[in-house]
Amino acid sequence: MKLAVYRKKSPWILHYNAGGCNGCDIEILACLGPKYDIERFGMINSGNPKQSDILLVTGPVTKRSRERLVEVYAQMPEPKVVVSCGACACTGGVFRGMYNCEGGIDQYIPVDVYVCGCGSRPEQIIDGVIKALDILERKTLELEVSVRLKKVPVEENGQVNRREVAAKIIHTQHTYE
Partner 1 sequence: MKGFIIPVLLIILAPFIGGLVHGLERIVRARMQRRIGPPLLQPFYDFLKLAGKRKMIVHSAHAFLGIMHFVSLWFALALLLLGGDLILVIFLHLLSTSLLILAGYSTRSIFSHLGANRTAISILAYEPVLIILAVSFYLVTGSFETAAVFNYDKPLLLEMPLAFVALLLILPVKLKKSPFDVAEAHQEITGGTEIEFSGIFYEAVYTAKWLDYVFCYTLVYLFAGNNILLGAALILFTFIYVNALDNSSARVNYKQMLRFSLAVAFSLAFLNLILNIVI
Q: Identify which of residues 42 and 97 has a Cβ nearer to partner 1 in the complex.
A: 42
Q: Is the dihedral of CA 41, 31, 55, 94 positive or negative?
A: positive
Q: Identify which of residues 137 and 153 has a Cβ nearer to partner 1 in the complex.
A: 137
Q: Is 22 in the site for partner 1 (CB under 8 A)?
A: no
Could you give the residue ranges of the DSSP H alpha helices within the chain? 4-7, 23-32, 66-75, 87-91, 122-138, 162-176
User: Which residues 39-58 are close enough to bind partner 1 by CB under 8 A?
Assistant: 39-42, 46-48, 50-51, 53
- To partner 1, the closest distance from the beta carbon of 65 in angstroms equals 18
How many angstroms separate the CA atoms of 65 and 127, rounded? 27
Burial class of residue 107 in the structure, from the number of CB atoms within 10 Å of its CB (0-12 exposed, 13-18 middle, 19+ buried): buried
Residue 139, Ramachandran bin (φ over 0: left; ψ between -120 and 50: alpha; else beta): beta
Site string for partner 1, 69-108 (x = CB under 8 A): ------x-xxx-----------------------------
Site of interaction with partner 1 (CB under 8 A):
1, 3-4, 6-7, 9-10, 12, 33-34, 37, 39-42, 46-48, 50-51, 53, 75, 77-79, 141, 143
